[in-house]
Chain A
Amino acid sequence: MALNLSDVFRLTRAGIYTNPLNSADKLPLPYGDLTDGTNGNWILPCIDTVNHVYAYAGFDVLSTGEGNSVTTYVDGVQTASTFNNANDYESQGLIATCTFASTQGNKEVSARGKGRDDAGTLIENLIDQVVDFIDNVVGETSTDELDDTFKALATAIFTAQGYKSAGVIVDDITYWTLFQQMAYSFYGKVYRNNNKKLVFLLDDGTLNQYAQVNRFKQGDLTVLKAKRTEEDIINRCPMKYSYSYVANIYKEETNTDAHVNTASETRYGSRLPRTGFFALPWCRDLTSAQTVQDLIIADYAKPIWTFTIQDNTYQFIHADMFNIFSTTIPWVYCDEGTALINQLFKLIEKTVDTTNNILTLQAKDTGVYLTTTILADGSAIADGTYKAGNDRDTTQY
């Protein structure tokens, strides 16, 4: 682990070139497809006032021959320029440039186009973008930084969900903040596990009961309290996406009734996120935004119990974030009217108090429980006592 995630990643300054307009201007790093809209999506700094050269990107990007479509604007007016996707300008390393026929003075120059490629293919998978950033921009080794298993899992989920990641790094930013923004744009989270590896965890709305890593007998743990709040009920979630790094606003928003939980609205009223919307800084297409929207509504339309659990031993000290475990909490009931027997929970916080030797866990109810199936062999009467399939397993383990 060499990357200190609290450190600030600094963009290359225009001052490394001989005749920049402003030496403090930062060379942007675009990833993905940013051709949306009818105006520039990010600002290009002038790196050569003599030859009217602007930095499209602080690294080489997809060429027009490989599918890039670049449009440049001057003060919002489309203006032709000559695009060079891999330009070793003044021998300062490969960047992408746009050269104008005449000076643009102090006017704002912006662009729409596509970003970084990998051997001629636009990088649109979030994890591939992170890998490229760590390996080729920061200069560290992604295989040392990222957990291999979760990297493969996140890559597969991203592809299966049909997501497309696109954004521009336009300012200095801490690695933590950058990775966090990239992850939650697709309903994911990022953290360092105890093996000190970086994990991107994408939620695709599925939970496999066989993915549980612990099964705690009732009495193994002390469940102190259960809590659920109004704030955590969300049945309508306006999504902002397609960020404009020129206007510094989200250009697009989706909030259609087709992506609302009407049953929850009837019971709890219209419940929106605390800020009134959920923003996706690295998402630029409607399909991805609505997929994330549906996942959020599915998770938050009903109030969720969060449990505080305590143990006076270290027997569960090895539990990691988002580990699934099952246990029984007989004094909390689900909306089917049954107690939380053999319920699955997801760990979201762990506190180790070495002074008092207490382990405190915060876990969220997943709404899923261990099940059993009644065979159609005459062993059970079809009188409504049991469900034919996926009945709650009430065995006391």
Chain B
Amino acid sequence: MYDAHINFITKCQEGKLPTVYIIISTDMGDLVYAKKEMDIFDVAIALADGSHIADGGIIAGGTLTLATGEGRLLSISPITTTTQDMRYGSLEGSTIKRQGAITVTLDNTDRADNSQYYFSKIIAFNPFITKTIEGWTGFIGDSLSQHFQLFKLKIKAEELTPTKYYLICSEQ
């Protein structure tokens, strides 16, 4: 079983749909993007860097601060976890490791000025290739510790168009 918080499962059982977001660990820090159609949400993280006193005033795993605060996540391809490649039958398939891979699609347009390209500018100096990308899902307002990790992959390739930025990620 995965480690999933009971509050998260309870809300899912009630039919509520959590927010999906990704965290890209880059050389300039963690970049967080949520789904484009969802409202921006505040999830602030309290780092153990001495910026807070352990006096009970703040919860250690409380919240995560969105570095960008933008809903640029357009889609994530279906995330498949499997231990066998069923194309070869059950027995032989169990001897073949099918490496998990997904494509994350992000919005490359610049809201302020459509002639400039959001990710084009970022990755010119800060390529995302070889960096780690995490996918999470959780309910707005819940503590980060109650969120559920969908995946943690490595960015293997990136594709860029004037309007979209694709991250091709695979299992570590």
Which residues does A use to contact B, with CB under 8 Å? 1, 4-6, 176-177, 180-181, 184, 189-196, 213, 229, 231-232, 234, 273-275, 278, 296, 300, 304, 306, 313-315, 317-323, 348-355, 357, 360, 362, 364
Q: Is the interface of B mostly helix, strand, loop or mixed?
A: mixed
**Residues from chain B with Cβ under 8 Å of A273 in the complex:** 89, 91-92
Pairwise interchain contact B2-A317, C-beta atoms closer than 8 A: yes
Can you report 17 residue pairs joining A to B where beta carbons are below 8 Å apart? A5-B172, A6-B170, A189-B83, A190-B83, A193-B2, A232-B90, A234-B91, A306-B86, A313-B13, A315-B13, A317-B12, A348-B84, A349-B80, A350-B82, A351-B79, A351-B81, A354-B137
In the complex, whether B112 has a CB less than 8 A from a CB of chain A is no
A390 CB to nearest B CB, Å: 26
Q: Which of B47-55, B61-69, B113-121, B144-152 contacts A (4 or more CB under 8 A)?
A: B144-152
In the complex, whether B72 has a CB less than 8 A from a CB of chain A is no
A362 vs B3: C-alpha distance when bound (angstroms): 21
Pairwise interchain contact A313-B12, C-beta atoms closer than 8 A: yes
B131 CB to nearest A CB, Å: 13
| Residue interface mask B144-172, A partner, CB < 8 A = 1 | 00001110101000000000000000111
A321 vs B96: C-alpha distance when bound (angstroms): 15
A135 vs B92: C-alpha distance when bound (angstroms): 30
A194 vs B1: C-alpha distance when bound (angstroms): 8
A275 vs B93: C-alpha distance when bound (angstroms): 12
User: For this complex, into which size category does the number of interface residues on chain B fall?
Assistant: 35 or more
**Residues from chain A with Cβ under 8 Å of B91 in the complex:** 232, 234, 273-274, 278, 296, 300
In the complex, whether B94 has a CB less than 8 A from a CB of chain A is yes
A300 vs B93: C-alpha distance when bound (angstroms): 13
In the complex, whether B71 has a CB less than 8 A from a CB of chain A is no
When C-beta atoms are compared, the residue in chain A nearest to B75 turns out to be: A355
In the complex, whether B31 has a CB less than 8 A from a CB of chain A is no
Pairwise interchain contact B1-A357, C-beta atoms closer than 8 A: no
Pairwise interchain contact B76-A354, C-beta atoms closer than 8 A: yes
Pairwise interchain contact A191-B83, C-beta atoms closer than 8 A: yes
**Residues from chain A with Cβ under 8 Å of B171 in the complex:** 5-6, 192
Residue from A184, A275, A313, A352 in contact with B94 in the complex, judged by beta carbons closer than 8 Å: A184
The 10 closest A-B pairs by CB, nearest first: A318-B4, A349-B82, A231-B89, A194-B2, A318-B2, A314-B12, A315-B12, A353-B78, A351-B80, A184-B95
A353 vs B172: C-alpha distance when bound (angstroms): 20
Pairwise interchain contact A177-B80, C-beta atoms closer than 8 A: no
**Residues from chain B with Cβ under 8 Å of A357 in the complex:** 17
Pairwise interchain contact B84-A4, C-beta atoms closer than 8 A: no
When C-beta atoms are compared, the residue in chain B nearest to A4 turns out to be: B172
Pairwise interchain contact A274-B82, C-beta atoms closer than 8 A: no
- Contact A304 B79, CB 8 Å, known A180-B95, A315-B9: no
Residue from A6, A184, A194 in contact with B172 in the complex, judged by beta carbons closer than 8 Å: A6
A351 vs B82: C-alpha distance when bound (angstroms): 9
Pairwise interchain contact A350-B81, C-beta atoms closer than 8 A: yes
A385 CB to nearest B CB, Å: 36
**Residues from chain A with Cβ under 8 Å of B94 in the complex:** 184, 189
B167 CB to nearest A CB, Å: 14
In the complex, chain B residues 105-138 whose Cβ is within 8 Å of any chain A Cβ: 135, 137
In the complex, whether B32 has a CB less than 8 A from a CB of chain A is no
Pairwise interchain contact B148-A317, C-beta atoms closer than 8 A: yes
When C-beta atoms are compared, the residue in chain B nearest to A192 turns out to be: B171
A189 vs B98: C-alpha distance when bound (angstroms): 12
A354 vs B94: C-alpha distance when bound (angstroms): 27
A171 CB to nearest B CB, Å: 17
